[in-house]
Structure 1
Amino acid sequence: MSLSAVGLLVVVLVPLAVLVGVVLVVVRLARPGPSGTARAGASATQTSGQAVRRFFQFLLLTGLLVAAGSGVAGLLGRLLDPGRVLVRDDGGLALQLTFTFIALPIWAALAWWTSRRLRTDPAESRSLGWAAYLTIVGIISLVVAMVAWQEVLDGALTATTYRGQRLATALVWTAVWGGHRWWGRSVTPRPLLRAELLLGSLVGLLTAAAGLLMVVSPALRELFGLTSDSIVGGSLPDILRGAATLVVGAVVWAVYWLREAVRGPRDTGWLALVLLAGVAGGLLVAVVAASVLGYDVLVWLVGDPATTRATLHFAALPGELATLLVGLLVWWYHSAVLEAGAERRTEVRRVYEYVLAAVGLLAASAGLVMVLVTIVEAIAAGSDLVVGGSALNALLAALVLLAVGLPLWWWHWRSAQRARAASPAEELESPTRRTYLLVLFGLAGVVAVVALLTLVYLLLQDALESGIDVETMRSIRFPFGILATTSLLSAYHWTVFRTDRAETERRRSSGAPAPGGAAGTTRLRHVLLVGAGDPGVAAEVSRQVGASVQVMRRTDLHANPWVVEQVVALLQDVPTSSAVVLADTDGIRVVPVETLDPYTG
């Protein structure tokens, strides 16, 4: 064995031994003493001791698992790819043997002890450390297995050289993923598995979208005749490679999302995935692709293209069009999921509208900045606005952004304003609307101040050095455009916010009815369901009432099925902002509650 291999072995095993020793010491210190006095003295530090023990325990489990998985995959790869056995690799073989015959048994022993703790101590299965371990290992094994399976399918479809290591990695890490998925579901409360479920859905969605893009783009390139090769030697390998990625991503997305997450509770993580990654992400990708596509077309028709050959100028057209189609598909699907079952305007619908309005406003603002920059640059040049290829192309880009962003913003902002006019009490009390207005006002104000400082600095610098001239106008064109645009946005949204605030104060002072109740009532925001047998009731109640809903199970009574319509009817006349729906032996009853001010002494 070489010195480098020995050194590597020492580097791996010494920290491992240290971690094992630390875990044993922590476990020993965290164990209560035999006497009652010792137990009383240890009770104050037991929680922190358990947290430290779990940290090192699950950290060690993760490290050992990664090492063992790598070792087993390496040895299995040598068996599945006998051609590589002839290549001498003593260092790699020694490392794989060490990981397999040292790390794997240690991990198995620690996992067995952990499994016993999980089944005998309910606090273990509900701990943050256990949930973090399942999430981290689940996502790591999922990603490694996905990459390996993509390479296996790619090699099979494109008839490339067989590599047994790819198949071995795919098999081993798929087994790791499946084993931990079964292990976690057998002992862990479902809410603690939400993070891994949603992250897996996101990974599958992104991979499937990328694979679809990789399939559509070369297909369009072949359809438009933008490749000089035959389809067999040109676009077909790219299409097959994209198909492999699409299949892997679609399978993962179906397992995580279609089987479970789409029907799960619409909590904060679920809404973040659907709204940010699905709706806003898909639409933002589509808007960018449409803007670039429109810019290329306009530059070719009326602008100053860099080349006179259409095949060169539109070389990126298939990719842009494919990106547009994929982005629209992702946006459309998640919008449909978000709208499913929504019979009334809820806070989720408001978030959806304001997010899309913000995306459109961002694109339109960028277009307005570029228009102002182009105008200042043309004035500084002392010529017409469209003279000069760069100025004309910049103006075309600005017009494209305005053409894409303004309709998108106006459509969703007008929808929100119509809802405000139809139901002012409900819309004015919406935290989403207030957050949207204040965030836009604040961000635009901060950017405007920075742009103002930059503009004044550039003006004073030129005035003190050589005097203000045409070059000064060129240097301030971007700060000027940003300042004008952000000032306009900040002023507009501040005006809307002040109008909303004045209307809210007027309605409160006059005793106008709150949403969902009579005059003087308060909008229901938080509901706690105690004794509901089906957690899915919370999602339906939240969707119909528009409040945040939580569920707790009663341990002293058998949970009978709840009727959503009955719960919603009971909540209609609640005079407070919070309520508890309680199931007892006489049926379901509602208890209005309110938050007390904290005791200050």
Structure 2
Amino acid sequence: MISSILLGLLFGAVPIGVIAGVIGAAVAARDARDEPAEPGIGTVRRLFVYVLALVGLVFAAIGVSLLVSGALQVAFESVLVSQRSEALSTALAFTLVGTPAWVVFAYLAQRSVAQHLVEAASQARRLYFVVVRGVALVFVVFNAIGVGKQLVGVEPLSSHGWGWLVAWGGVWLIHDRFVANEPTTTAMTRLLERLYLAFGTVLGLMVLLIGINSVVVAPVNSAYEQLGATRLVDSALLFGLRDGVVVLVVGALVWAWHWLLHLARERGTTLWHVVVFVFGTLPGVALTVVPVAVLLYTTLTWFLGTRDVSGAHAHFHEVPALLGALVTGVATWGYHRAVLVESMRGNEAQSEPERVYRYLVAAAGLLTAAIGIATLLALACEGIAGAGNSLVRSAGWWRNPLLRAVTLLAIGAPLWAWYWGQLQRVVTREGAVARASLSRRAFVFAAVGVSLIALLISLVVLLFQVLRPLLDGDASLAVLRDARWSIATVATSAFVTMYYLLVMREDQAALRDTPAPERARTREVTVIASADTADELVVALRRIDGVRVRSWQRTDSSHRELSGAQIEMVRAGVAIADAEHIAVIVNDDGVEVVPFREA
């Protein structure tokens, strides 16, 4: 048992190590001017303390989890003596090793904070809090779902999950209280905290969407089965509803805590845009478009196509699941679109995450429409070639392929046209900035590259399929039938390649004719205020082009809150200030915007 736990820890450390490595790279790339003058206990010693504190904490949490689960198992379940002794030995081993180790290194960390004020703002300390809360949150979410299902009767009562929920819930709560008492004071620690909030938001949102889907599917599926007279009494309805409600409640709590109470206030930051576009709106589009396409094809097949089954109930058996996905997609898409509309009032410029989102949707529409066109061309080739002597076809062989092509075109073409048209209008409005954006260049080069590769491969296959019967002296219309997909792929990929080559040339010509912009002057703004006020000012000032903002927290009793109008006045003053360095000082008497220069 203990070996399997240690092996699981080893493999579980890999993704954690990758995440920590990415964050570490970001930390390594930080501006040296963000570094405090006092070194504190030193980087190497700091990493040593927090890494060992993390290891000790994980061991202690596992031990406590096993102890609680074992105690509940002994109290409410019958367990063999040999199994009980093995479980107790494992739990005590982890607890007796991990708890003292964590206590010792946590004490060393807290002592360093007491001796060196700079330690409270160190990246290693904040990274420790991020990793611990992230790992604990995963354990809490999945074990809370299991415990909730036991409480509502979906699963039988057992000790499984309770110990892990109690132990890791305590770990999360303790460390979250530490974070609440230590506000972020540097740009890097704020970034690390936002990374955790983004992780918690995405995790909660995914669980919430799964719960919404389950709650919708259960009654729809029950009604569908009763409509088809396959079930008179559906005992699975309450089971499915209880199961879905548990998942929904857990996901909603996690999402609301991390998004509504925290990350939603960081409006305008890069991570805010990433969460809203990539993890909120984009999945909503997918969960809306795909079910609509499948429902459309299923309906067309029933009325116009060739049916695989005779009864309507069997033909439309996927409708409840598709409706659940559709409702889920509309919910997340609609909510995040409303958030975006609210945030973009008065701001016409697109952010890079928004561009990425729009290009991804345009790419999905382009691919879907291209497959639809290729299906039509292949069907036309097969119709021209005829059945031949060796192929027997039913009278309506062409119906379902034609309906598939129509469905793909009906979904993909409007999707591509809508988003690509919007992107082209943005290019017209913003000019060189939009043309030179990384997302546009990546999309155009990817469209040309992928379509060109498809063209080359399909050309090779087409030539082989044509040359072999010619050399064998067996050329006939059967060649057209055999090569129908190669011909369709060549034609479709050639069209896409030519179109986006023209787009690429147009962009390059426009950028070449655009005079090189003067090197943007980066002005440094230093905000000196209390923690809450500084955060609000930093978010507002970062909307000014060419401004780099950092903040310093006041340690005296000065604590002045600023209204929205006052923050806008400060923002306007900084925008028009003609200086390389600007200090924004908030005190009890008001706000001072002070231009200065280094001596």
TM-score range relative to shorter protein: 0.7 to 0.9
Q: Larger deviation: 467-476 or 215-224?
A: 467-476
Two-structure CA RMSD over aligned residues (Å):
4.0
Structure 1 residues 254 and 397: CA distance shift in structure 2, 3 A: same
Structure 1 residues 217 and 504: CA distance shift in structure 2, 3 A: same
Contact 2:527 2:537 in 1 (8 A): no
Structure 1 residues 141 and 487: CA distance shift in structure 2, 3 A: same
Contact 2:448 2:497 in 1 (8 A): yes
Contact 1:64 1:106 in 2 (8 A): no
Q: Which ranges of structure 2 fall in alignment gaps of 5 or more residues?
A: 11-40
Equivalents in 2 of 1:245, 1:10: separation in Å? 27
Structure 1 residues 113 and 556: CA distance shift in structure 2, 3 A: closer
**CA offsets per residue over residues 535-570 of structure 1, 9 Å max, x none?**
334444555x5x476420257998986633553576
Contact 2:365 2:414 in 1 (8 A): yes
Equivalents in 2 of 1:351, 1:524: separation in Å? 24
Contact 1:360 1:409 in 2 (8 A): yes
Match of 1:362 in 2: 367
Count residues in correspondence: 538
**Greater relative contact order structure (CA < 8 Å, 6+ sep):** 2
Match of 2:413 in 1: 406
Alignment of 1:346-495 (within 5 A): 346-348=349-351, 349-382=354-387, 391-422=398-429, 424=431, 427-428=434-435, 430-456=437-463, 459=466, 472-473=479-480, 476-495=483-502
Contact 1:208 1:246 in 2 (8 A): yes
Structure 1 residues 280 and 152: CA distance shift in structure 2, 3 A: same
Match of 2:33 in 1: none
Alignment of 1:189-588 (within 5 A): 189=184, 190-191=189-190, 192-224=192-224, 225-226=227-228, 228-230=230-232, 233-342=235-344, 343-348=346-351, 349-382=354-387, 391-422=398-429, 424=431, 427-428=434-435, 430-456=437-463, 459=466, 472-473=479-480, 476-508=483-515, 528-531=524-527, 533=529, 534-541=534-541, 547=545, 550-554=548-552, 563-564=567-568, 567-568=571-572, 571=575, 582-583=583-584, 587-588=592-593
TM-score, normalised by the number of residues in structure 2:
0.77
Q: CA deviation at 1:353?
A: 3.6
Q: CA deviation at 1:141?
A: 1.9
Q: Percent identity?
A: 23
Contact 1:458 1:475 in 2 (8 A): yes
Match of 1:77 in 2: 72
Match of 2:144 in 1: 149
Structure 1 residues 501 and 50: CA distance shift in structure 2, 3 A: same
Query: What amino acid sits opposite 1:564 in the alignment?
Result: E
Query: What amino acid sits opposite 1:563 in the alignment?
Result: I
Structure 1 residues 233 and 350: CA distance shift in structure 2, 3 A: same
Equivalents in 2 of 1:263, 1:10: separation in Å? 39
Equivalents in 2 of 1:126, 1:234: separation in Å? 53
Contact 1:367 1:401 in 2 (8 A): yes
Alignment of 1:84-163 (within 5 A): 84-85=78-79, 89=83, 90-121=85-116, 129-158=124-153, 160-163=155-158
Equivalents in 2 of 1:590, 1:501: separation in Å? 41
Structure 1 residues 52 and 303: CA distance shift in structure 2, 3 A: same
Equivalents in 1 of 2:94, 2:311: separation in Å? 58
Contact 2:59 2:97 in 1 (8 A): no
Contact 1:77 1:169 in 2 (8 A): no
Structure 1 residues 573 and 467: CA distance shift in structure 2, 3 A: farther
Contact 2:60 2:95 in 1 (8 A): no
Contact 2:542 2:548 in 1 (8 A): no
Query: What amino acid sits opposite 1:394 in the alignment?
Result: P
Contact 2:63 2:90 in 1 (8 A): no
Equivalents in 2 of 1:250, 1:222: separation in Å? 25
Equivalents in 2 of 1:291, 1:10: separation in Å? 45
Structure 1 residues 87 and 401: CA distance shift in structure 2, 3 A: farther
2:177 equivalent among 174, 182, 198: 182
Q: CA deviation at 1:462?
A: 6.1
Query: What amino acid sits opposite 1:83 in the alignment?
Result: E
Structure 1 residues 87 and 572: CA distance shift in structure 2, 3 A: same
Query: What amino acid sits opposite 1:183 in the alignment?
Result: F
Q: CA deviation at 1:504?
A: 4.1
Q: Larger deviation: 119-128 or 268-277?
A: 119-128
Equivalents in 2 of 1:116, 1:218: separation in Å? 54
Contact 1:529 1:582 in 2 (8 A): yes
Q: CA deviation at 1:257?
A: 0.8
Contact 1:70 1:99 in 2 (8 A): no
Structure 1 residues 404 and 117: CA distance shift in structure 2, 3 A: same
**CA offsets per residue over residues 298-341 of structure 1, 9 Å max, x none?**
11111112101111111110101111121121112112222223
Equivalents in 2 of 1:134, 1:273: separation in Å? 21
Q: Which ranges of structure 1 fall in alignment gaps of 5 or more residues?
A: 16-45, 510-520, 593-601
Partner of 2:421, secondary structure, is: helix
Match of 1:23 in 2: none
Equivalents in 2 of 1:277, 1:417: separation in Å? 24
**CA offsets per residue over residues 6-41 of structure 1, 9 Å max, x none?**
x959989xx9xxxxxxxxxxxxxxxxxxxxxxxxxx
